[in-house]
Amino acid sequence: MNSTYDTLFALLRAALHGDEIPKVPNFSVLLQEARKQTVDGLLYALPEIRVSDEERPVLLQWIAGMPRLEQANREMEMHAVRLSALLERKGVRHAIMKGQTCAAHYPHPLLRRSGDIDVYVAPRDFEKACSALEALQFEKDDVTMHHTSYRKGSLDIELHWVLQRLQWPSTHRKLRELLTEEVDVCEQPTPMQNIGAGDVHVLPPELNMVLLTAHPFTHIVNEGLGLRQVVDWMMVLQKTRNQINTPKLYMMLNELRLLRVFRVLAYLCCTYLGMDKDTACISPDGVAFNKQDGKRGERVLAWIIESGNFGHAMKFGEGKSRTRRFYSYFLRNCLRFFWLNPTEMIAWPWMKFYRFVTGQNHLHDDRIP
């Protein structure tokens, strides 16, 4: 790891935990990397950033963007609250997830950058949710194998009928069963969470941590993983730790073969982001991570630095060249990170090939009530 990231991690620890603020020797380079990882907004929380006189204009120009970020996030919070209220009125079983619900656990929620609104919708209510958005003049933008996205102006909403796609069939079915039991047909309403502008329906805390563990894993293999997703994992676990049934979460992650991913994220957060090991530990043996997890974590960190958030730092090119380059990275990552989840890494290339040949972009069985 280079000195720029040493400084970036120190600044993030200061912004999130109140640690000492280091001097920044090359702010322009650091800001470029922070933007690549989509964590530059978090640094606005610092009372001061010490830079050289030559770089002060760059610092002041960056600071000028803070009010725009806060206003954009206020608007996004309002949209999420209105969406949750709309779906509740329509009788749609749902849960707002990721973005705004993660931000609410930060010391300064309005400083976390977000792009869209993600909402899980029970399959039996999916068409009802789509109709509700279309009645408000939202236009269908895209359909993938796990969500349908809608757009109205600059607002993007993704309706998910799958929490997160896992490739190994039995593992994916298990996640589907957990969703059905915990959300779709549960007698109790989904939990409520205040996200600043109001309350929204969210996932149960254990299932939410499953999502925040599976989602980074997907991006490790595909486009690329950013620090923002790692920080999200840490902040949500820290703030909801007392609500989580630890044996239940451990059982879920074990059954879904995501324990290694969880421990790697624990290593990264405890080693570089100031997380307490006791908070990160869910194992019955009382060990948050071991030496092997640390070695694996360093490999993942190297990929984070290389790829950036959602792979924005990767140069895939255009057209056929882009496709070839993307799949070369994908296959390389299946081998490079095979140890994270062997069954997923075995299934993933075959499932991608199958969908490419058949032209499928979603699997209908996930939407059967």
Digit-coded pLDDT (tens) for 11-38? 999 999 999 999 999 999 999 999 999 9
Structure confidence at residue 309 as a pLDDT band (50, 70, 90)? low
Tens of pLDDT, residues 68-82: 999 999 999 999 999
The tokens for 308 are 């950036």
Give kind and range of the element (H or E) at residue 199. strand 199-201
Please give the share of the chain, as a percent, with pLDDT higher than 90: 68
Structure confidence at residue 366 as a pLDDT band (50, 70, 90)? very low
- pLDDT, average across residues 302-308: 86
- Counting other chains too, the contacts that 245-254 makes at CB distance below 8 Å and 24 or more residues apart are 245/206, 246/282, 247/284, 248/206, 249/206, 249/209, 249/210, 249/282, 250/282, 250/283, 250/284, 252/178, 252/206, 252/207, 252/210, 253/210, 253/213, 253/282
Structure confidence at residue 314 as a pLDDT band (50, 70, 90)? low
Query: What value does the mean pLDDT of the chain take?
Result: 88
- pLDDT, average across residues 289-315: 81
Structure confidence at residue 233 as a pLDDT band (50, 70, 90)? very high
Q: What is the pTM of this model?
A: 0.91
Question: What is the predicted pLDDT for the residue at 367?
Answer: 39
Phi, psi values for residue 202, rounded to 5°? -135, 175
Residue 313 has pLDDT above 70, yes or no: no
Please give the share of the chain, as a percent, with pLDDT higher than 70: 91
Residue 238 has pLDDT above 90, yes or no: yes
DSSP assignment letter at 20: P
> ∠218-220-222 over CA atoms, to 5°?
65
What is the distance, to the nearest Å, from the Cα of residue 119 to the centroid of all Cα atoms in its chain?
A: 13
- pLDDT, average across residues 180-199: 90
Q: Return the bridge partners of 95, or none.
A: 120
Residue 59, classed as helix, strand or coil, is helix
- pLDDT, average across residues 101-118: 94
User: Comparing 253 with 337, which gets the higher pLDDT?
Assistant: 253
Kindly list the structural domains of the chain, giving each domain's residue range(s) and its CATH number in brackets, ordered by start: 3-64 (no CATH), 71-167+190-203 (3.30.460.40), 204-369 (no CATH)
Question: What is the predicted pLDDT for the residue at 145?
Answer: 78
Residue 364 has pLDDT above 60, yes or no: no
d(CA 281, CA 249): 11
Residue 266 has pLDDT above 90, yes or no: yes
Question: What is the predicted pLDDT for the residue at 368?
Answer: 35
d(CA 316, CA 314): 6
Residue carrying structure tokens 């997907």: 218
Question: What is the predicted pLDDT for the residue at 89?
Answer: 95
Q: Which of 180, 183, 148, 182 is nearest to 369 (CA)?
A: 180
- pLDDT, average across residues 107-118: 93
- pLDDT, average across residues 206-224: 89
> ∠144-149-150 over CA atoms, to 5°?
155
Let me know: does 128 contact 90? Beta carbons within 8 Å. yes
Tens of pLDDT, residues 218-231: 888 877 788 999 99
Kindly report which listed range (154-163, 275-284, 335-344) carries the lowest average pLDDT score. 335-344
Question: What is the predicted pLDDT for the residue at 222?
Answer: 76
